[in-house]
Structure 1
Amino acid sequence: MEFGRITSEELEKVDFTLPPDRQETTRLLASAKSAKPEIFVGCAKWGRKDWVGKIYPKGTKEAEFLNHYAKHFNCIELNATFYRMPTVEQTQGWRSKVGSDFKFCPKFTDQITHIKRLKDVKEATDRFLEGISGFKENLGPIFLMPHPGMAPKTQDTIEAFIQSLPKDIKLFVEFRHPEWFSNETAFQSAFSMLEKNKAGAVITDASGRRDCVHMRLTTPEAFIRFVGNGLHPSDYTRIDDWVQRIKQWMTQGIERVYFFMHQHEELHSPELSKYLIEQLNNHCGLSIPVPKFVEQDMELFGSAAPPKKRAPRKKAS
């Protein structure tokens, strides 16, 4: 994942401290009060050949990757549907390889969001929704990322698209144009629009775009996209902070959290996911199954535990 990528020199200057929750987030969670929130942790893809011998048994064929992925994680941020329109046959096939509690979180295809920018897309949207219907009860929230060039002036177009969707689907929206965050009026308007339409707001934690860590929930659910830096010490301190924020949200009534692990090079996503799950279990009283690595000697691939010496946080210059 290239979004928010910065140089190693710039990385040392980033202040990764999570901002406080927006007042609207606190208000919204106060009205939710879920007794037992659900926590989902996953990656962005399962088709990683470099995970063979790591979390996939040695000799695993590509056709079996999803079967093994679903033994370690309970959800997937399905970016494959962004690049290719899904079919019912395809999603039924994927569904047959996972358990009943597993959730697919498909991303709207680029034909809809990037090529046509949400205009005149009824036919394509109908095909997309028909395609993902094969997931049935394994369908999680759908992920909508408007083209990064869509600025606040396109809010009416985005809202019209959201309102055109069936009311029974769960939707999360990720804004990327900087003006959504730099202009407070635009921010308030856009996120109030999402809340009014019962659409969730994606929080993307990337090194080079700290504005996207907006901490404004618009539903009593969170959809977090975490972008690490190859198991840099700051990856672990950032995860520690997220664990504490999720713990706080659990006491406030959050109903569901989806946490998706990304790396600029996805090789090490399993290690950081394992660390996240262990910390969630330890600090939040959860019992999420921990990914199991093929090799007991983790030094072969890099330990899931943080380095002994962690990098101190530094304020951005």
Structure 2
Amino acid sequence: MPKTTFAATDLPVTAPLHLGLPVWQDSSWASRWFGDPAARQHTLQYYARFFNSVEGNTTFYALPSQATLAKWQAAVPADFRFTFKLHQDITHNGPVGANQARLEEQLSLMRQLKDQLGMLLIQLPAHFAPSALRQLKKLLAYLADEFVLGVEVRHPEFFTKGEAEVALNRLLMRYGANRIIMDTRALFAGPAQNAMVAEARIKKPRVPVNIIATAQSPVVRFVGGDDDHINQQMLTPWVHKCQQWRQEGKSPFLFLHRPDNKDAPWLAQQFVELHNRCYPKTPLTGPMSATGQQEDLF
């Protein structure tokens, strides 16, 4: 079990916690979570009643039309914050940021969101090594004045606390970019309970969890497994860390994954319940708070 060493108190906080999932729709949610058949046609609208952010992975594969983006905007309240990954043509297919045409196409769309764009996510491939940091520097310099940025790296040299990691963190701090923290420890703990967990272990990176806030909106991507006891053990330190960040005036983003993301709302509820037990004077509202649909999953 990770040690809880973070200093946080149950004092009032003004900085928000942006809580969300990696998807905003699943065919089972209308009955299993929302308890309303109408949710099948308005999933984002229903999702946004309980979460104030989402990890937008769709833009990594394809960019939406302006009309689709406008429809998404209209479905959420003003304080909802989308995060969207840069398209793979920008980050994975060739040098990082070299596809200027695709970059400008996406930036034009992202500007349409205005204040509802919480962050642009720059997910870099595992082969992106320290020797390529100049490419990232050029991209950050181009984007940082206009957009809040999050950067995720997967190359092992960026996790050794050596020169490469120091150089990366300094670069991110220079441009006010947030280092994305990927926590897959719960997913990889113990034997795989089923085929879904085994498949998720193949797809998700297993990287060290180096906790750092390089800017004002630290990002945590937490991937739980199907063992709720282990999930609780691994989530509890993040309850305290997110509270500490907020007390420092930072606005963290926390995205919660499961091997099958149809179960992710229940992991989020678990986080909220843990938070509210630890910090009853600063409670969060959970995804099951008003639905009456909570299942006894943990």
TM tier relative to shorter chain: 0.7 to 0.9
- How many aligned positions are there? 275
> Does the C-alpha gap of structure 1 residues 265 and 233 become closer, same or farther in structure 2, counting only changes over 3 Å?
same
Corresponding residue number in structure 1 for 2:273: 278
Corresponding residue number in structure 1 for 2:255: 260
Corresponding residue number in structure 2 for 1:213: 209
> Does the C-alpha gap of structure 1 residues 141 and 96 become closer, same or farther in structure 2, counting only changes over 3 Å?
same
Where do 5+ consecutive residues of structure 1 fail to align?
1-15, 27-33, 307-317
Deviation at 1:90, TM superposition (A): 1.7
Corresponding residue number in structure 1 for 2:122: 144
CA distance in structure 2 between the aligned counterparts of 1:247 and 1:297, rounded to whole angstroms: 27
Deviation at 1:73, TM superposition (A): 0.7
CA distance in structure 2 between the aligned counterparts of 1:93 and 1:116, rounded to whole angstroms: 32
CA distance in structure 2 between the aligned counterparts of 1:119 and 1:99, rounded to whole angstroms: 32
Counterpart of 2:132, as a letter, is T
CA distance in structure 1 between the aligned counterparts of 2:138 and 2:246, rounded to whole angstroms: 33
> Are the aligned partners of 1:19 and 1:214 in contact in 2 as well (CA < 8 Å)?
no
Counterpart of 1:110, as a letter, is Q
Counterpart of 1:49, as a letter, is S
CA distance in structure 2 between the aligned counterparts of 1:188 and 1:20, rounded to whole angstroms: 23
The yes-or-no answer on 1:124 pairing with 2:102 is: yes
Corresponding residue number in structure 2 for 1:174: 152
Where do 5+ consecutive residues of structure 2 fail to align?
189-204
CA distance in structure 2 between the aligned counterparts of 1:117 and 1:160, rounded to whole angstroms: 11
> Are the aligned partners of 1:107 and 1:143 in contact in 2 as well (CA < 8 Å)?
yes
Deviation at 1:136, TM superposition (A): 2.1
Counterpart of 2:134, as a letter, is D
Deviation at 1:178, TM superposition (A): 1.2
Corresponding residue number in structure 1 for 2:192: none
Deviation at 1:194, TM superposition (A): 0.5
CA distance in structure 2 between the aligned counterparts of 1:171 and 1:18, rounded to whole angstroms: 29
201, 208, 232: which one pairs with 2:228? Answer: 232
> Are the aligned partners of 2:239 and 2:274 in contact in 1 as well (CA < 8 Å)?
yes
Deviation at 1:97, TM superposition (A): 0.3
CA distance in structure 2 between the aligned counterparts of 1:156 and 1:188, rounded to whole angstroms: 14
> Are the aligned partners of 1:53 and 1:295 in contact in 2 as well (CA < 8 Å)?
no
Corresponding residue number in structure 2 for 1:17: 2
Secondary structure of 2:145 counterpart = coil
> Are the aligned partners of 1:230 and 1:268 in contact in 2 as well (CA < 8 Å)?
no
Deviation at 1:157, TM superposition (A): 0.9
Q: What is the TM-score when the length of structure 1 is the normalising length?
A: 0.79
Counterpart of 1:72, as a letter, is F
Corresponding residue number in structure 2 for 1:7: none
CA distance in structure 2 between the aligned counterparts of 1:121 and 1:194, rounded to whole angstroms: 21
Corresponding residue number in structure 2 for 1:245: 241
> Are the aligned partners of 1:141 and 1:169 in contact in 2 as well (CA < 8 Å)?
yes
247, 264, 272: which one pairs with 1:269? Answer: 264
> Does the C-alpha gap of structure 1 residues 43 and 279 become closer, same or farther in structure 2, counting only changes over 3 Å?
same
> Are the aligned partners of 2:154 and 2:207 in contact in 1 as well (CA < 8 Å)?
no
1:38-78 per-residue CA deviation (whole Å, 9 max, x = no partner) reads 11111001121122212233424543111111111111011
CA distance in structure 1 between the aligned counterparts of 2:17 and 2:264, rounded to whole angstroms: 18
> Does the C-alpha gap of structure 1 residues 58 and 38 become closer, same or farther in structure 2, counting only changes over 3 Å?
closer
Secondary structure of 1:173 counterpart = strand
Secondary structure of 1:141 counterpart = strand
The yes-or-no answer on 1:70 pairing with 2:65 is: no
The yes-or-no answer on 1:99 pairing with 2:77 is: yes
CA distance in structure 2 between the aligned counterparts of 1:294 and 1:129, rounded to whole angstroms: 36
Counterpart of 2:242, as a letter, is I
Deviation at 1:241, TM superposition (A): 1.6
